[in-house]
Every structure is written in C-alpha cells, then in structure tokens.
Amino acid sequence: MPTKPLERLIFAQGGLCFFCQKHLSKVDASVEHLVASANGGGNRDDNCVACCKSLNTLLGSKSLKEKIQVVLNQKGQFQCPNGAQRPAPVCVNAKSPQAVPQAVPQAVTVTKPTADKYSQVVANLRQRGDAKPRTVSKLTKWINALYQNKLPKQELSSLVHQLQAGSVITISGTKVTYV
C-alpha cells in the first residue's frame, strides 16, 4: 500500500482522476483539498482527492460550494482543463483511432467514415500487386466487394474520385491505370 498521500489517493481511485476519471499519472496529479486548507480543511484522506494538476490550479482555494458548482456546470461530461492532454497510457480502453492501414484484412467493416475507407481501399489495392482491377466498373465492383457490397453508389463513386484526386489512379475512358 503506497504511503505518500498522493500515491495513496491515486491508488484508492483506481489510478483515475477523481473528477474526470481519466488515467492519472503521478506527474500530472496533485492532491486537491475539497475544503481548502485556507478554509480550515484538513489533510486527512476524507478531505483529499487526487486529480489533474490543471484542475487543482483552477479550483485553487474556492469554497466547496463553488467547486461543486464548477463540477455541475460541466453537466456530466467532466473534463479537466488539461488542454492538449498527453495520450493516456494503457489505463483507458484506448483503441488507437488511426488503425494501421496495412493491417486491414481483405474484408473490412462498413461503419467507418469515408476518409478511413479511402485509406483502406488504397492499402488493399497495394496488397493486390499486379492483380488490380483495370477498368472503372471492375474497380468499383472490387471496392464494393471489400465492403460486402453494402456501399451506396454515391460513396463508391466518391471513393473512385478520391483515388483519382489522390493520384493513385488515372482513368482514361473505362480504363484504370495505377500511378
């Protein structure tokens, strides 16, 4: 059991900031006295929480009432005012938002926005080597097949346009050439 107040509190809070519930590393953490020392608040754990330093600074020696007000003002989605918070390690169930395109298997799921689809399509095309679709209609079919034929026509043609715009392919007539 950690013995320093900060470490003890972080431990008791399961490694999370008391307020925003984000992963809290010791360097970013500080002890917040709920009733400020200036207002007679004690040092015991029942008056202390570990939280993001930035929030501690903001709360300063506000009264408990004002602090509750600050928390309530966030209407349930409490974020400590950390600005560019460094990405939390391990603790959050963090899936990297940028999946590595090369690792995408042939059949990909349908739920991602078009920007993701575009990079998936490009990555899949690269994997095809010389076996790339050589006509517009084959390419369109092939892209659609990647998404279990569930892509709306508009999205399909916008993907083909993006491939052109991104200089991945050139189209002359019905023929597709890979740049």
Give the span between the Cα atoms of 81 and 75, in whole angstroms: 15
CB of 178 to Zn ion, least distance (A): 49
Token representation of residue 39: 């207002």
CB of 28 to Zn ion, least distance (A): 8
| CB-based contact 80:51 (threshold 8 Å) | yes
For Zn ion, the binding residues (CB under 5 A) are: 17, 19-20, 52, 80
Burial of 155 by CB count in 10 Å (0-12 exposed, 13-18 middle, 19+ buried)? middle
Token representation of residue 174: 């019905």
Q: Which amino acid is at 21?
A: Q
Q: Which amino acid is at 20?
A: C
CB of 108 to Zn ion, least distance (A): 35
Identity of the residue, 15 or 101, whose beta carbon is nearer to Zn ion in the bound complex: 15
CB of 159 to Zn ion, least distance (A): 40
Identity of the residue, 21 or 157, whose beta carbon is nearer to Zn ion in the bound complex: 21
Identity of the residue, 20 or 143, whose beta carbon is nearer to Zn ion in the bound complex: 20
CB of 153 to Zn ion, least distance (A): 46
Identity of the residue, 38 or 58, whose beta carbon is nearer to Zn ion in the bound complex: 58
> CB 137: neighbour CB atoms within 10 A?
10
DSSP string, 26-38: GGGEEEEESS-GG
Identity of the residue, 49 or 125, whose beta carbon is nearer to Zn ion in the bound complex: 49
